[in-house]
Amino acid sequence: MLLNRSSRPEYGKLRSGNFYILRLGQLNTAQHLPVLMSWFVAQYRASCDDAIHMPKRLELSEFGDLADHLHILVLGASRETWTFQRFAPFSAARIGADLTGAEVTDQRFAPYHRRLDEKLARLLREKAPFYVSTRMDEIGGERVAHRLCIPMSDVGRLITHCTLMLV
């Protein structure tokens, strides 16, 4: 991520809720995305896909009901652990608990956290948004978890946050 130095705030950190957000133009949407994810991508591109060097306030309300599927993850100081800064209401209803503040590897998030740590490591390596599907066993059979990861930063070039859509 490139940062316009003249817009860099004092001490290098943006105000709470403001981020440098990568454009989804880099996302390969040739794959068949689930309908909810396709709607989100279209709305995201309309509201967030402008100049990357300009910080934006992430307003989840712009996404209406789709915001219920959005987690906001924050990368720890060690750059090895991710925690839920915001746990998606849809997921909270599904598992019966709000895991805001918990690590993404928390067992209460099972089976939805399966291989999520690997995907987030990929996010740090590639520094680009991506979609991935993961097969998982649930009570009653197998299902596919669809994940869309969008890297963000509140300091500039380093990825510090991630928007994770899970359907």
Per-residue pLDDT of the chain (167 residues; tens, 9 = 90+): 333 333 444 446 777 777 877 667 667 665 678 889 988 888 888 877 765 667 777 889 989 999 999 999 999 999 999 999 999 999 999 899 999 999 999 999 988 888 888 999 999 998 888 888 888 776 777 888 889 998 888 887 788 889 999 88
Strand 18-21 relative to strand 130-138: parallel, antiparallel, unpaired? unpaired
Q: 28: buried, middle or exposed (CB in 10 Å: 19+, 13-18, 0-12)?
A: exposed
**Positive or negative, the Cα torsion across 43, 62, 56, 91?**
negative
Q: What is the third-level CATH fold of 5-166?
A: Beta-Lactamase (3.30.450)
CA distances from 93 to 26, 99, 127 (A): 32, 11, 31
Phi-psi region of 128 (alpha: psi -120 to 50; beta: other; left: phi over 0): beta
What's the confidence (pLDDT) of residue 8?
43
What's the confidence (pLDDT) of residue 93?
95
Are the C-beta atoms of residues 152 and 24 closer than 8 Å to each other?
no
d(CA 165, CA 158): 21
167 by DSSP, 3-state: which?
A: coil
Q: Number of helices and strands (H, E) in the chain?
A: 3, 7
Q: How far apart are the first and last CA of the chain?
A: 27
What residue segments make up the domains of the chain, in order of their start? 5-166
What's the confidence (pLDDT) of residue 167?
85
Tokens of 33: 């995305």
